[in-house]
Amino acid sequence: MRKVTTPMPISGTKYVIPTSHTLMASPGCTSRDDEFFPEALEWDPHRWDLGSGRVVGNDQDEEFQDYGYGMISKGASSPYLPFGAGRHRCIGEQFATVQLVTIMATVVRLFKFKN
Q: Is 84 left (phi over 0), alpha (psi -120 to 50) or beta?
A: left
Amino acid symbol at 1: M
- DSSP-assigned beta bridge partners for residue 66: 71
Q: Yes or no: say if 63 and 73 are a contact pair by the CB < 8 Å rule.
A: yes
State yes or no: 29 annotated in a binding site: no
Give the annotated binding-site residues.
Answer: 90
| Residues in the annotated binding site for heme | 90
